[in-house]
Structure 1
Amino acid sequence: MPSTVEQLSPSRVKITVEVPFGDLKPNMDKAYRDLASQVQIPGFRKGKVPPRILDQRFGRGAILSEALNDAIPDLYNSAVTDNKLNPLAQPEVEVTKLEDGDLVEFTAEVDVRPEFDVPAFNTVTATVDAIEISDEAVEQRLESLRGRFGSMEDVDRPVEDGDHLTIDLVARKDGEVLEDANVSDISYEVGTGRMVDGLDEAVIGLSAGESKTFTSTLVGGPLKDEEAEIEVTVKKVQIQDLPAADDEFAQLASEFDTIEELREDQKKELVQTGRVEQANAARDAVLEALIGQVDAEVPEGVVNSEIEARKEQINNQLAQAGLTLERYLEEADEDDEDAPKDVESFWADTEKRAADALKAQMILDKIADDRELGVEQEELTQFIVRRAQASGVSPDQEVQHMLEHNHVPEYMGEIRRAKVLDLIMSEATVTDSNGEKIELANLQPDGSIADPAELAAKAAAEAAAASESDDSETVEGETVEGEESEEAKA
């Protein structure tokens, strides 16, 4: 099947494919069979209508069209493979010649991965924040642990700062109760300020069973930002009785004998969590640095399609949550200082992220192709298990979803890109904000650093176990062969 490629631009080609009509016979036969099974013509059994009768009844053109629709995807994919192209989008296909019984020609214009050079991995550098664990962070973690072993005790006195309350809130406007702004039996810790403004001041001094009305601005729901009169009723006043941070508590809450050992362990866990966050930041920073060094642009059409898809997804999610983008940004701005502050900057940020993600994918795919990186069955299995855990489903359900929605190529692509990024990380130079070089080679998923000798020993043991398993299977096969041979002689 001859095909030619015309380079329309650095990232777009036109493929012309000529197909001898005889090569379409399987597709023509299928088109006739499918049509014959769907129609009922007097004098013929269903599915047994001869092709000439179908041509007379429905026209030869309809059969040709169906056959071409069936054949072109495979013919296009073969031409892509033969010409070693890397499409980035769906092609625009046009049948340019149709000589019944002789020849078919079609063209396919498609955006492809342009040619570009990738810098040596050891030239890539990036900087991330240093891990800094304050004494306050350690004490907060220890306080949280004490809270898990603490208990609540009712107190018969007016509310004080730090008390734990059970309260009802009723909001009114112009004397009318606002039905969507009332809650009952909610827990609240005085002094946290995590609800409406003025609540802390209103409850101080109240006793269980007493109420007070104050004016504030609603902070959530459909009436967000509305000013209302809010009546708070204190139903229960409690204090949290925490165990003392001493050696006895350390022995109760952990395997350690002293509170200092427990405190050191809490700090160690914070460090390990920090390492995981730092490693994730390092991967992002290294990939961003690599993108900046590669002189290549993703085709505009591919970028625009991705941007539109992201915008549609975001708008659908906002609609389902009953939010406008403006309100979402207001709420996000409270929690994230780096979040876009207005609609225009939000969409600009979305567009940049889409373009960067596509460029990163394009670069990683090229490296994977150049190095002929494949995917082992065990790697795919581990990937599926991780996705299943993240989605809260079983691995079998994830496999079924993958097969039903034809996600195999997508999953394989993600695995290959992750392997490429691991290669880049192994050679790139990453330093923290203190100028210290960060070693990520032996970082484990929990944030601990494995001993290289232990890793080598473990790998050797696994290899030996696999080798013994293979040898056992071979010996078993030889034994069975021998027994069969003796039986044959007998």
Structure 2
Amino acid sequence: MKATWEKIEKNLGVLEVEVEAERVTAALDKAFNKVVKKANVPGFRKGKVPRPIFESRFGVESLYQDAIDILLPEAYGEAVEQTDIFPVDRPEVDIEQFAKGQPFIFKAKVTVKPEVKLGEYKGLEVPVQKAEVTEEEMAAELARLQERHAELVVIEEGTAINGDIAVIDFDGSVDGVQFEGGQAERHSLELGSNSFIPGFEEQVVGMGTGDLKDVEVTFPDTYHAENLQGKVAVFKVKLHEIKRKQLPELDDEFAKDVSEFETLEEYSADLKAQLESRKQDELKGVRENAVVDLAAANAEVEIPESMIASEVETMVRDFDNRLRQQGMNMDMFLSFSGQTREDLQNQMKGDAEKRVRNNLVLEVIAKQENIEVSEEEVTQELADMAESFKRTPDEIRNILAANGTLNSLNDEISLRKTIEFLVSNSVEVEAPAVEAVEEAVTEEAKAE
């Protein structure tokens, strides 16, 4: 087989392929064995029609499309490998010749992975912050833990305030007619959570136990039930009970209840160490992202729209999977948010382009610096995954192989090592103080 590649513009080129006549004959044989099983010829059972009789009755040309379907994918794959190109989209194929006893000739217009011209990627200056935990952050974390371990106490006197749990009956109607989902008994509603129709919770605030009240609200124009969009509804509300969070005291007893420590001082010291460790991880991620963004910004690359579109679809699928884990799906989300799938895709397009650009640059840096992945590293990665998923490394390897994602594991390790290389070859500079940044922004605004 002969294959030639000619670039015609940017990331687009033409792959011209000529396949030997012998392989055309073999493909026609396979096509005949496939279609003869369904051929109806008087005097012959299905699957038993001799080849000469089949061709004289239907013509050898009746086998061409099936033979092309058999031969084209394998010939295209071989041509891609032979010319060492990396397609990123489906090719536009033009069949120039296909006939019995003749070579198979076709041309494919192919969009390929773009060339990357690297700029500076070593010695990049990255602002670094210290992983210090402030008193305010410690106080906020302790307050969060107080909230988590708070007890709900029934309030016998007084009225409901934001943060309370109001146990209510409600009966909603539009123009005096009840609507589906508008009724409930002894429903627990956290006031201030904004989980109900806008304006509802604010009107429950101030009610006392046993109170009855008509609550009037207007459904948003983007409400998921189209028949209620923009409609005014009246809910008859009865407040049965008010529950209020009672925060535990921050003392030694609290520390004993929520941890293995005996004193609040010991618990606070451990908590501070955890926060510092978490902050270090966060700052590590910030530095990695910053150095990759800088290296990508210094590079020159024109990204095909097809690569961005493909990445957007990957991001949409990932988002859909996360929604399903939360008990939702894409249709529900789009209905609740008042968006279309196209709206969501447009929102993701910028991040998708950045992802593609960064990955392309990292791949080229890995080649430039001869960053390779050893079998030992792959084995360790499989072992780590096996421990996380409570499976054996061989099971994880087989699952990845069956899904066709085993090679992507190598790519992930390579990208991670390349990022580590960039970080280790970057230069830490002190992050500008907040006051200095604000002053610079102010001066710039004055100049404009």
TM-score when scaled to structure 2? Answer: 0.75
CA contact (8 A) 1:170 1:182 kept: yes
Counterpart contact for 2:160–2:166, Cα < 8 Å? no
Contact 1:216 1:228 in 2 (8 A): yes
Cα distance in 2 for residues equivalent to 1:14 and 1:52:
38
Identity %: 23
CA distance change for structure 1 residues 251 and 179 in 2, over 3 Å: closer, same or farther? same
Q: Which shifted more, 255-264 or 218-227? A: 218-227
Q: Unaligned regions of 5+ residues in structure 1, if any?
A: 330-342, 436-490
Say if 2:119 and 2:300, in contact at 8 Å, map to a contact too.
no
The yes-or-no answer on 1:166 pairing with 2:144 is: no
CA distance in 1, matches of 2:318, 2:143: 41
CA contact (8 A) 2:383 2:393 kept: no
Deviation at 1:206, TM superposition (A): 1.0
The answer (yes or no) to whether the contact 2:116–2:360 under 8 Å persists in 1 is no
Contact 2:167 2:239 in 1 (8 A): yes
Q: Could you say if the C-alpha distance between residues 296 and 395 of structure 1 is closer, same or farther in structure 2, counting changes exceeding 3 Å? A: same
CA distance in 1, matches of 2:279, 2:167: 36
Q: Distance in 2 between matches of 1:424 and 1:121?
A: 7
Paired with 2:34 and 2:428, the residues of 1 have a C-alpha distance of 60
Spell out the pairing of 1:328-339 with structure 2 (5 A cutoff). Answer: 328=339
Alpha-carbon spacing, 1:2–1:174, altered in 2? closer, same or farther (3 Å):
closer
Deviations 1:317-375 (A, max 9, x none): 764435287x459xxxxxxxxxxxxx99x876543333333323333343455537457
> Partner of 2:290: helix, strand, or coil?
helix
Q: How does 1:101-112 map to 2 (within 5 A)?
A: 101-112=101-112
| Cα deviations by residue, 1:10-29 (Å, 9 ceiling, x for unpaired) | 31121112222123444333
- Matched with 1:321 is 333
Match of 1:250 among 255, 274, 295: 255
TM-score by length of 1: 0.69
Is the counterpart of residue 275 in structure 1 residue 276 in structure 2? no
Q: Deviations for 1:195-253, whole angstroms, at most 9, x for unmatched residues?
A: 5437456443512x222234444566534665443433221223434432111221222
Provide the residue aligned with 1:475 in structure 2.
none
- Cα shift readout 1:60-116 (whole Å, capped 9, x = no counterpart): 123233223212222222222222212221221222233531422211110112333
Q: AA paired with 1:52? A: P
Match of 2:350 among 349, 352, 363: 352
Rounded to whole Å, the distance in 1 between the matches of 2:27 and 2:96 is 19
User: CA shift at 1:430, angstroms?
Assistant: 5.8
Q: Deviations over 1:240-297 (max 9, x none)?
A: 3443211122122212221122223333333333333333333333332222111110
1:236 aligns with one of 212, 236, 241: 241
Separation in structure 2 between the aligned mates of residue 20 and residue 306 of structure 1, nearest angstrom: 37
For the structure 1 residues 130 and 50, does the alpha-carbon distance in structure 2 shift closer, same or farther, using more than 3 Å as the test?
farther
Structure 2 SS opposite 1:353: helix
**Contact persistence 1:375–1:415 (CA under 8 A):** no
- Residue 77 of structure 2 is matched in structure 1 by 77
Q: 1:401: Cα distance to partner?
A: 7.5
1:388 to 1:206, Cα distance in 2 relative to 1, 3 A: same
Match of 1:295 in 2: 300
Q: CA RMSD in A?
A: 4.2
Match of 1:204 among 206, 214, 218: 206
Note the C-alpha offset of 1:41.
Answer: 4.2
Q: Alignment length, in residue pairs?
A: 416
Instruction: Provide Cα deviations, 1:386-440, integer angstroms capped at 9, x if missing partner.
Output: 9979xxx9999988876666445556544544443343334334667457xxxxx
Structure 2: where are the runs of 5+ without partners? 321-328, 434-448
- Which residue identity lines up with residue 275 of structure 2 in the other structure? L
Q: Whole-Å Cα distance in 2 between the matches of residues 97 and 373 of structure 1? A: 43
Q: Contact between 1:383 and 1:415, CA under 8 Å: does it hold in 2?
A: no
Q: Distance in 2 between matches of 1:190 and 1:395?
A: 49
The structure-2 alpha-carbon separation of the partners of 1:202 and 1:319, relative to structure 1 and needing over 3 Å to count, comes to: closer
Change (3 A) 1:7 1:262: same
**1:192/1:98 Cα in 2 relative to 1: closer, same or farther (>3 Å)?**
closer
Contact 1:181–1:221 (8 Å) recurs in 2: no
- Contact kept, 8 Å, 2:96 with 2:106, in 1: the verdict is yes
Q: Does the 8 A contact of 2:397 with 2:406 survive in 1?
A: no
Q: Distance in 2 between matches of 1:227 and 1:398?
A: 55
Specify the SS of the correspondent of 2:5: strand
* Counterpart selection for 1:428 from 420, 426, 429: 426
The corresponding residue for 1:156 is 156
* Distance in 2, Cα, partners of 1:79 & 1:244: 73
Q: 2:120 touches 2:298 (CA, 8 Å); kept in 1?
A: no
CA distance in 2, matches of 1:408, 1:318: 28
Q: 1:151 to 1:416 in 2, by over 3 A?
A: same
Look up the SS of the partner of 1:114 in the other structure.
coil
Superposition pairs of residues 29-428 of structure 1, within 5 angstroms: 29-39=29-39, 41-42=41-42, 44=44, 46-98=46-98, 100-127=100-127, 133-159=133-159, 161=161, 163-189=164-190, 195=196, 196-197=198-199, 199-200=201-202, 202-204=204-206, 206-207=208-209, 209-218=210-219, 221-222=224-225, 223=228, 226-303=231-308, 319-321=331-333, 323=335, 327-328=338-339, 349-368=347-366, 371=370, 373-374=372-373, 376=375, 377-378=378-379, 381=382, 406-408=404-406, 413-428=411-426
- Partners of 2:70 and 2:411 in 1: how far apart? 26
The Cα offsets for residues 126-160 of structure 1, whole Å up to 9 and x where unpaired, read as 44777564534433432343445443333422335
Aligned pair in 2 of structure 1 residues 63, 214: CA closer, same or farther (>3 Å)?
Answer: closer
Distance 1:260 1:314 in 2: 42
Aligned letter for 1:117?
A: K
Q: What code does the residue aligned with 1:206 have?
A: G
Identify if the C-alpha distance between structure 1 residues 40 and 90 changes in structure 2 by more than 3 Å, giving closer, same or farther: same
- SS in structure 2 opposite 1:121? coil
